[in-house]
Amino acid sequence: MNTISQSPESEVDGPRSRVQSQGVSGTPVLSLEGVARDFSDGRVVRRVLKETTLDILSGEMTVLAGPSGSGKTTLLTIMGLVLKPSTGRVVVGGEDVTGFSEDSLASIRQQRYGYVFQQAALVPALDVLDNVLVGTAIQGGRVSAQTREKAISLLSGLGMKDYLLSRPQQLSTGQQQRAGIARALVSDPILLLCDEPTSALDVESSHIVLDTLKKLSRDPRRGVVLVTHDPRVFPYADRLLKMEDGAIVYDTRQVAG
Amino acid sequence: MRRHAAVRMLLHDRSTTAGAVLGVVAIVFLVGQQLAVLFGLLTLMSALVDNSGADIWVLSQNSKSTSTAGDLPIRYVDRLAGLKDIEWAQPVIYSAAQFKLPDGTSQSVGIVGVTRPGLVVGPWRMAEGGSDVLLEYDGVTVDKLDLADLGNPKVGQVVEVNGRRVRIAGYTEGSRAFGPSVMFVNSTKAREITGIPADRCTNILIKLKPGVDIRRARAEISTLLPKTTVLTVAELASSIRVYNLTSTGIGSSFGFSALIGIIVGVVIITLTMYTNVLNRQRDFAVLRALGARQQDVFAIILFQALTIGCIGLLIGFFLLGGFLFGVKGSRLPANLPLWLPPAHVLFTFLMCFLGSALAMRRALKIEPASAFR
Ligand SMILES: Nc1ncnc2c1ncn2[C@@H]1O[C@H](COP(=O)(O)OP(=O)(O)OP(=O)(O)O)[C@@H](O)[C@H]1O
Ligand SMILES: [Mg+2]
Residue A44 lies in a domain: yes
Q: Which residues line ligand 1 (CB under 6 A)?
A: A 39, 41, 48, 66, 68-74, 229
State whether residue A152 sits within 8 Å of chain B by CB: no
Atom of ligand 1 nearest to the CA of A196: 27
Residue A94 lies in a domain: yes
Residue B164 lies in a domain: yes
- C-alpha distances in Å from residue A73, one per residue of A49, A60, B152: 10, 20, 84
> Bigger pLDDT: B146 or B122?
B146
Q: Are B186 and B131 in a shared domain?
A: yes
Structural domain containing residue B169? 62-226
For ligand 2, the distance from its centroid to the CA atom of residue A73, given in whole angstroms, is 4
Q: Are B33 and B75 in a shared domain?
A: no
| Cα of B60 vs its chain's centroid, Å | 27
- Average pLDDT value for residue range A99-110: 94
Global pTM? 0.81
Residue A220 lies in a domain: yes
Q: Are B218 and B257 in a shared domain?
A: no
Q: Are β-strands B56-60 and B72-73 bridged in parallel, bridged antiparallel, or unpaired?
A: unpaired
Rounded to whole angstroms, the Cα distance separating B77 from B63 reads 18
Residue B148 CB neighbours (<10 A): 9
- CB of B57 within 8 A of CB of B90? no
Write down the pLDDT at residue A36.
95
Indicate if the pLDDT at residue A8 is higher than 80: no
Residue B18 lies in a domain: yes
Q: Which helix (H) or strand (E) holds B311?
A: helix B294-327
- CB of B56 within 8 A of CB of B218? yes
Q: Are B359 and B256 in a shared domain?
A: yes
| Cα of B5 vs its chain's centroid, Å | 43
Q: Cite the DSSP H helix spans in A158-242.
A: 173-185, 203-216
Q: What is the pLDDT of residues A117-163, one digit of tens each?
A: 988 899 999 999 999 999 999 998 889 999 999 999 999 988 899 99
Which residues, in sequence order, are CB contacts of B302 under 8 Å at separation 6+? B353, B356, B360
CATH number at residue A160: 3.40.50.300
Q: What is the pLDDT of residues A48-91, one digit of tens each?
A: 999 999 999 999 999 999 999 999 999 999 999 999 999 999 99
B286, B291, B367: residue with CB nearest A123: B286
Rounded to whole angstroms, the Cα distance separating A166 from A158 reads 15
Count of structural domains within chain B: 2
Rounded to whole angstroms, the Cα distance separating B305 from B307 reads 5
Residue B232 lies in a domain: no
Write down the pLDDT at residue B122.
73
Residue A125 CB neighbours (<10 A): 21
- Average pLDDT value for residue range B276-288: 92
Q: Which residues of B touch A169 (CB under 8 A)?
A: none
Q: Are B76 and B151 in a shared domain?
A: yes
ipTM of the complex: 0.88
Rounded to whole angstroms, the Cα distance separating B35 from B323 reads 12
Atom of ligand 1 nearest to the CA of A70: 21
B2, B290, B294: residue with CB nearest A140: B2
Q: Are B276 and B151 in a shared domain?
A: no
- CB of A118 within 8 A of CB of A72? no
- CB of A151 within 8 A of CB of A133? yes
Rounded to whole angstroms, the Cα distance separating B355 from B225 reads 57
Residue A216 lies in a domain: yes
Residue A14 lies in a domain: yes
Rounded to whole angstroms, the Cα distance separating A65 from A233 reads 9
Q: Are B29 and B72 in a shared domain?
A: no
Residue B170 lies in a domain: yes
